[in-house]
Amino acid sequence: MPNPAAAMLVIGDEILSGRTRDSNLHHLAGELSRHGIDLREARVIPDRHEAIIDAVRALASAHDHVFTSGGIGPTHDDITADSIAVAFGVPIRVRDDARALLEAHYARTGQHLNKARLRMARIPEGATLIENPVSAAPGFSIENVHVMAGVPAIFQAMLASLLPRLTGGTPLHSITVRINRPEGDIAGPLASIAAEFPDLSIGSYPFVEQGRYGSYVVLRGTDRAILEAAEVHLRNVFGEDAA
């Protein structure tokens, strides 16, 4: 059975304006690889209702899972939860269990659960909460869409809460071999190796170090034995240039 397919939706003007460098995609990609879920696509879109609704619908219909980050805080620009509710055609309102999480958190930290903060307890009907051990305000899963915070520490904590719930497939393994020759020199032999190992994805990534060109060759696949056979073959072909 093939691994489940996933997409990520990064929601936030601050990424598209260049103010903030997204780091959640990289974290999610690594975690999903280890969990045996294939990340097939990622999109970054602004904090706009129609953009969120359109992207969620498109990605949710084409993938087993969609992971979103951003736009679920207490301020006026946090419109993700409302947009997701529209995308699935369900109402959204303050939910008792989510409110209880916030009440406990703010009582503990001596802060006031005001109207703005209470917005974070608004959950689309039929959703399952995703625990947030950092700052209490929960994420949620609705159908195959998992809605999480944009702040990296909170995104990571929510993902750690969520992942054990999701059925994974075969983890993707990878072996990286450094070849001390420029990409253009190794391209021919590498194409032959790729043809011999059709089950693997073989990528080549050039680098420059102290003015000398080299290439990292990355072998990726789910079967360790095949990966190791390909590595042996690769090292034989490139001899002393393989480090």
Residues of the shown chain interacting with a second copy in the complex, contacts defined by CB under 8 A: 13-23, 25-33, 39-47, 51, 73-77, 111-112, 114-117, 119-120, 151, 153, 172, 174, 176, 182-188, 190-191, 194, 201-206, 208, 218, 220
Closest CB to a second copy among residues 100, 125: 100
Radius of gyration of the chain (CA): 22
The minimum distance between CB 120 and a second copy, in angstroms, equals 8
The minimum distance between CB 14 and a second copy, in angstroms, equals 6
The minimum distance between CB 108 and a second copy, in angstroms, equals 13
CA dist., res. 144 & res. 131, Å (int): 17
* Helix pair angle (24-35, 152-162), 10° resolution: 20
Closest CB to a second copy among residues 26, 93: 26
Buried b / exposed e over 219-243, threshold 16 CB at 10 Å, is bebbeeebbeebbebbeeebeebbe
Closest CB to a second copy among residues 41, 241: 41
Closest CB to a second copy among residues 61, 89: 61
The minimum distance between CB 107 and a second copy, in angstroms, equals 14
Strands 145-148, 139-142: pairing is antiparallel
The minimum distance between CB 126 and a second copy, in angstroms, equals 26
Closest CB to a second copy among residues 18, 164: 18
The minimum distance between CB 167 and a second copy, in angstroms, equals 20
Closest CB to a second copy among residues 178, 220: 220
